[in-house]
Chain A
Amino acid sequence: MIQSADVAVNVAGVSKIFGSGDQEVRALDDVSVAIRQNEFFTLLGPSGCGKTTLLRLLAGFEHPTRGEIFLNGTDIAGLPPNKRPVNTVFQSYALFPHLTVGQNIGFGLEMQGKPKAEVEQTVDAMLKLVRMEALKKRRTSQISGGQQQRVALARALAPHPEVLLLDEPLSALDFKLRKEMQLELKRLQNETGITFIFVTHDQEEALTMSDRIAVMRDGKILQVGGPREIYDRPAERFVADFIGDTNFLRAEILGVDGDAARLRLDAGGVEIAADLPEGAARSGAVTVVIRPERARFLGPDDAPPDGESALDARVEQMVYFGTDTHYHLRLGGDERFIARIQNDERLARAPAEGDSVRIAFPARAAQVLKD
């Protein structure tokens, strides 16, 4: 297998099956993904989709039923967890209750047989890194959840692993602390230069923190890409639906030119241009997605600017959200559409419930789905 030096972790055709017979659970189904050096890589998906299983395979607690895993180009199948330069921040933190904060952080280094002075020095540096200097001598049961989280992080970072695995590390924290820790994690990743593989079921967390995201469902990776790409160019209905709000519209493909397609929307028979992902149907009936914030209102006499498409609609309901308003619209052909419009006092005339309106969206705001 040829590896580019840029790839830290290469998962190649990995399946993991638990149990057998009736009890068989396919936790991972032919998963392949390449994670780059120094990347903040996120596995995003609903509970039970196989995120933890993938992390456990990387850490060495489970073994793939099929497929191979390479770490910096070496097959790590034969390596037990204690021989892998990979550390885990467990979902439950799993701090050692019989050790102090400092001893927890120093545990990995001590097991590696590092000299005492070096262990002490690194522990102090780690305490500083996670801003916990004052609590070194405390028992782990005597600190708050947020502090335990930091200790778990420091403990996993102290041996300076090549890859850090984080299994929903923020899910137990309250909202404000979670926001704080999101920034903190980003900072730690920048400062240490370690490849982070981060697991979450929270799409917002994934979008704000990640360099790249893999969206998972039922043991499969559906799409891998940067946050923008995942958000703006979801390739499948599940991805579009799981991340943010979205509108699904039925359409028919009229013609294809490379990765762009001309479609006719069933709603109102309007022709629009849309992006066509690889692997999508190139003719016939398809579903397109348009994010609610991509739509805007046209004045009654305005013609849509060049390349934009316009649709007629009727306002059924308005929901005010402070910075913006959600307009629940009904299109021709009985399809629904939600438009999220920024509230702007300078706007001459905001539509009211029952009004007939025209909405426009930019040429490639629409994306054809693969399914």
Chain B
Amino acid sequence: MAQPTDDARHGHAEREAARRRVRANWLLSAPALAMLAFAASGPLLIMLVYSFLTPGDYGGIVWKFSGEGWFQVLFSRDIFDETVGLADAHLTIFWRSLELSILTTLLALVLGFPTAYFIATRPREQRALWLFLVTIPFWTNLLIRTFAIMELIRNEGVINSILLWLGVIDAPLQMMFTEGATLVGMAYVYLPLMVLPLYAAMDRLDFRLVEAGYDLYATRLQVLRKVILPLVKPGVIAGSILVFIPSLGAYVTPRLLGGGRNMMMGNFIELQFGQGRNWPLGAALSITLLLVVMLALVVYVKNANKGGAGHG
């Protein structure tokens, strides 16, 4: 075994190399960071400013300070007697969006995990083909994909026609304009965002560890829980984040498949910038959404890591 002094010297060289790597990484990512600062922070800053201004009569803003936008996020004034009440509708929309996004993420995880596992266990030369197939939906516009789903699930659509023809049902099932339709549609749309990071994690997974698990008397389920999941957790976290964030702000899919009846956060914000003509409220809602997402992420990542430490 190595002498302690050897260890120390080794450790020092290691740290020095790590420092150099970190510096190189910062340099390499500088263009991307600059781009982010410009393209992401700029609009955000504009939003922040707008949220403290007064709405114009025909949309847009008037350059006059007002806290009304932020006030309206949570409270509403009665039109007639000006009494202040909690804005239930906003909270409902918020809650619905949150719920649907969590469900979408879970559904995508449940569907994506076996898919990624399947791809990762194919012979290496076949995997490119499977990954290619997974990414095909990205080749077409979101709108067109959503219309394709509508074609499947509407009352005169493919699924209902087949079921009617088979005699399984007498009247078409109402699938369009339900929360279920929105959920399935969103999970479908964001599934590749779940599969790809999961696959990346599983590709790095040493399957000899899986064998070691079986060898040490673990059942399939135990191998999944005690070996595979802890090892691919970074992929699960990344995939969940990638699906959850756009789900929360999703706009097209809930609008088309949910029929705009059960409004989501994204639709509601859009409404403020459109017919609502209340840009400051829209801006305040956007920023609130952003904060909620950030809070959710912090809580999620913290918990996920704690789970790992509990293991260790």
Residues of A within 8 A of B (CB): 59-61, 80-83, 86-88, 90, 92, 94-100, 103, 107-108, 111-112, 139, 144, 146-147, 155-156, 159
Query: Given A97-B231, A98-B230, A98-B231 in contact, is the A82-B219 Cβ separation under 8 Å?
Result: yes
Nearest 4 Cβ contacts at the A-B interface: A108-B216, A94-B212, A81-B214, A111-B217
Most buried by A among B209, B217, B219: B217
Chain B residues 1-59 with CB under 8 Å of chain A are 1-2
- Once A90-B208, A94-B212 are accepted as A-B contacts, the answer to whether A82 and B231 lie under 8 Å apart by CB is no
Listed residue (A59, A94, A103, A144) with the most chain B CB atoms within 10 angstroms of its CB: A94
On chain A, the residues within 8 Å of B231 by CB distance are 97-98
Residues of B that sit less than 8 Å from A by CB: 1-2, 206, 208-209, 211-219, 222, 226-227, 230-231, 308, 311-312
Cross-chain contact B216 with A87 (CB below 8 angstroms): yes
Interface pair B219/A99, CB less than 8 Å apart? no
Which residues of the partner chain A approach B219 to less than 8 Å between Cβ atoms?
A: 82, 111
B308 to chain A, nearest CB (A): 7
Other than the given A83-B217, A111-B226, 6 more pairs (CB < 8 A) read A59-B211, A81-B214, A90-B208, A103-B311, A111-B218, A156-B215
Given A98-B231, A98-B312, A111-B222: A82 and B215 interface contact (C-beta under 8 Å): yes
Chain A residues closer than 8 Å to B1, beta-carbon distance: 144, 146-147
Contact call B2/A144, Cβ cutoff below 8 A: yes
Q: CB within 8 A of B311: which of A59, A60, A99? A: A99
Residues of chain B within 8 A (CB-CB) of A83 are 217
A192→B238 CA distance, assembly (Å): 46
Q: Is A94 a contact partner of B209 (Cβ separation < 8 A)?
A: yes
State which of A80, A94, A99 has its C-beta within 8 Å of the C-beta of B208. Answer: A94
User: Interface SS of chain B: helix, strand, loop or mixed?
Assistant: helix
* CB-based nearest A residue for B308: A98
Given contacts A144-B2, A146-B1, A155 and B312 within 8 Å (CB-CB): no
Contact across chains for A159 and B217 when beta carbons are under 8 A apart: yes
Pick 16 A–B contacts, CB within 8 A, sort by A.
Answer: A61-B211, A82-B219, A83-B217, A87-B215, A88-B212, A90-B211, A96-B213, A98-B308, A107-B213, A107-B218, A108-B216, A111-B213, A111-B217, A111-B226, A155-B216, A159-B216
Q: How far is the CB of A13 from chain B (nearest CB, A)?
A: 25
Report chain B residues within 8 Å CB of A95: 212
Given known pairs A90-B208, A94-B211, A144-B2, the reply for A108 and B312 (CB within 8 Å) is: no
Contact of B312 with A82 in the complex, beta carbons under 8 Å: no
Q: Which residues of B contact A112 (CB under 8 A)?
A: 217
Across the interface, B217 reaches (CB within 8 A) one of A82, A92, A98, A139, namely: A82
Please give the distance in Å from A9's CB to the nearest CB on chain B: 16
Contacts A82-B219, A144-B1, A144-B2: A98 and B214 contacting too (C-beta < 8 A)?
no
Q: Tell me, rounded to whole Å, the shortest Cβ–Cβ distance linking B215 to chain A.
A: 5
Contacts of B215 in A (CB 8 A): 59, 61, 81-82, 86-88, 156
Q: Are B312 and A111 in contact (CB under 8 A)?
A: no
Q: Is the CB of A96 within 8 A of B227?
A: yes
Q: A90-B212, A144-B2, A146-B1 are known contacts. Are A82 and B311 too (CB-CB below 8 A)?
A: no
CA distance A99 to B216 in the complex (A): 14
**How far is it, in angstroms, between the C-alpha of A144 and the C-alpha of B2 when the chains are bound?**
9
Give CA–CA (A90, B210) in the complex, Å: 12
Closest to A84 in B: B215
A107 to B89 alpha-carbon distance, docked (Å) = 52
In the assembled complex, the Cα of A95 lies from the Cα of B212 at a distance in Å of 8
Residue among A90, A99, A111 having the largest count of chain B Cβ atoms under 10 Å:
A111
With both beta carbons as reference points, the residue of chain B lying nearest to A107 in the complex is identified as: B216
Complex formed: what's the CA distance from A59 to B215 in Å?
A: 7
| Complex interface: chain A residues within 8 A of B212 (CB) | 88, 90, 94-96
**Which residues of the other chain, A, contact B218 by a CB distance below 8 angstroms?**
82, 107, 111
Residues of chain A within 8 A (CB-CB) of B213 are 96, 107, 111
